[in-house]
Structure 1
């Protein structure tokens, strides 16, 4: 199946406002189908889900957005970016779409947003019912997250300089290191990632977005606790070749999570939904079939 172009992705979506900024979102599937919220990772966008989108939309009401600072959404430079705020944006989208119950499929940075939404679901309050969460490669545990060098540099005092020096070529090299050996990113994929990252002067805010890494450490008890106390089904699908959150993260997940439901994808790297969409789809549908939603 040919990939959905970034222009087609944009034209099929809409915008809503959050704190005075435009947030891109899109939805597809039968209005009465179970809602599946897709949450993307860093530093890319909701377009990461394009290979899975048609198949998922045949079964679910699929909803996604570009978080603030990413993709087609606004990228303000004077803004306090945080996982908590990104979770607020997703809750705003659910209200906007009049969602009463939903499931989550998340990746990377989006895993942490999903952990915050999971933590909120355990607290009193009126919000849509979270029914299940499936995680793809991400830093679920700060102690197993192994950021690549450019991420460490972006977080340092050199961050603004590193952001200015970032080019499509350096992006391609970084992505090659975290993809699997047989699933290397194509020039078309790098072009799309680059377009979406650089839109609205996006490179300039990378040092602000990367602050999620210390935020994970600060809120570890809350976010790991949400995994351990979850009252809904959880699933992990992981490309084990990933140097950031691969086999070593799976091992920690098995240590800390009771009765872990895990699908390992050997030879697949950090972007399983891009590198092996058919395998991710099969594992996800098997997970959902277990509880018939």
Structure 2
């Protein structure tokens, strides 16, 4: 029995808007309890969490947004995108929702680096973080293996590569990073492309790619944030991801004291869509929460 999917057309109807620095940001929230902020990766959007959304909302107050430049949020063309600004955005969203208690983080890929910045702010006394879990994250830039398309978008001709980037390019690159038996359906690929192309998003992809050199420039701060004590951490990782797979977990064990990691064999870069039941099980175990009764028999089998 798989987790119920929320179709993108339904997901979009449930979104709300708030304004961040004169830009419209699309966000979602559901459930009650401790706040859990879900932070999506590159190049997709918060719909990535749709399999986990309802089960998590049974336990927590779940919150997600399409960050600036992603999904159905604003994608200003003349803008310098920054992970620091995305962290500002998430803090503004929490303030907009009157979240005052410590927030728990679950971040994937690009979003995991934003989570690292929020962790750094916690250690600086500028945020309140209760716990943090990462999914297939480029936590250590020296271990991250960028795709060729990412390198091309970082080149002086990146604007041209981005402008010509289409659905077939997305499919070709996504196919490289999923597990061998967990590729998305054609319908899901259509939906991913819809989110990338929304608000003419392909024209700014080279600008969003600035997060890769930004990780290198801020390595000391962001690696230090996961090495510091005080906030429970777990790294749940799809082992066969060529970008941030088992090699990233190995680096995590070298650098992080008392590492708490979970390897999902045969799973690639998107464990929350490739193996959502496993991710749910390991995340709730991390938070020491029981599985929703409907899923308990399946998820523990």
**TM-score, structure 2 normalization:** 0.93
Corresponding position of 1:179: 178
The residue aligned with 1:99 is 99
Pick which of 150-159 and 165-174 moved more.
165-174
The separation in 2 between residues aligned to 1:124 and 1:94, in whole angstroms, is: 16
Separation in structure 1 between the aligned mates of residue 80 and residue 90 of structure 2, nearest angstrom: 17
Give matches, 1:217-232, under 5 Å.
217-232=216-231
**SS of residue matched to 2:237:** strand
Conserved? CA contact 1:121–1:130, under 8 Å: yes
Matched-pair contact (CA < 8 Å) for 1:48–1:274: yes
Q: Secondary structure at the match of 2:129?
A: strand
Aligned residue in 1 for 2:292: none
Q: Is the 8 A contact 1:122 1:230 kept in 2?
A: no
In 1, Cα distance between equivalents of 2:15 and 2:166:
28
1:35/1:102 contact within 8 Å kept: yes
Rounded Cα–Cα distance in structure 1 between residues aligned with 2:135 and 2:224 = 18
What is the CA deviation profile of residues 17-73 of structure 1, one whole-angstrom value per residue up to 9, with x for unaligned ones?
Answer: 01110000010002xx11100000000000000011010011110000000000010
SS at match of 1:289: coil
1:169 maps to 168
1:152 aligns with 2:154: no
Q: Name the CA distance, whole Å, in 2 between partners of 1:188 and 1:264.
A: 28
Q: What pairs up with 1:225-240 in 2 under 5 angstroms?
A: 225-240=224-239
Aligned to 1:286: 285
Q: Which residue of 1 aligns with 2:82?
A: 82
* Superposed displacement of residue 230, structure 1: 3.7
Alpha carbons 1:25, 1:65 under 8 Å: kept: yes
Match of 1:62 in 2: 62
Name 1:20's counterpart in structure 2: 22
Deviations along 1:264-292, one digit per CA (max 9) or x if unpaired, are 001000000010000000000110008xx
Shift of 1:165: 2.1
Tell me the CA shift for residue 258 of structure 1: 0.7
Distance in 2 (CA, whole Å) between partners of 1:161 and 1:130 is: 40
Going from structure 1 to structure 2, the CA distance change for 1:131 and 1:2 (only over 3 Å counts) comes to closer
Displacement of 1:164 in angstroms is 2.1
* TM-score using structure 1 length: 0.96
Residue in structure 1 matched with residue 110 of structure 2 by the alignment: 109
Q: Which moved more, 1:152-161 or 1:192-201?
A: 152-161
Cα distance in structure 2, aligned partners of 1:167 and 1:287: 39
- Aligned ranges 1:193-204 → 2 under 5 Å: 193-204=192-203
Structure 1 distance, partners of 2:104, 2:187, is 31
Q: Distance in 2 between matches of 1:95 and 1:230?
A: 26
CA RMSD of aligned residues (A): 1.0
Match of 1:47 in 2: 47
2:262 alignment partner, SS class: strand
In structure 2, C-alpha distance between the alignment counterparts of 1:239 and 1:29, rounded to whole Å: 28
User: What is the aligned partner in structure 2 of residue 247 from structure 1?
Assistant: 246
Corresponding residue of 2:210:
211
Corresponding residue pairs, total:
286
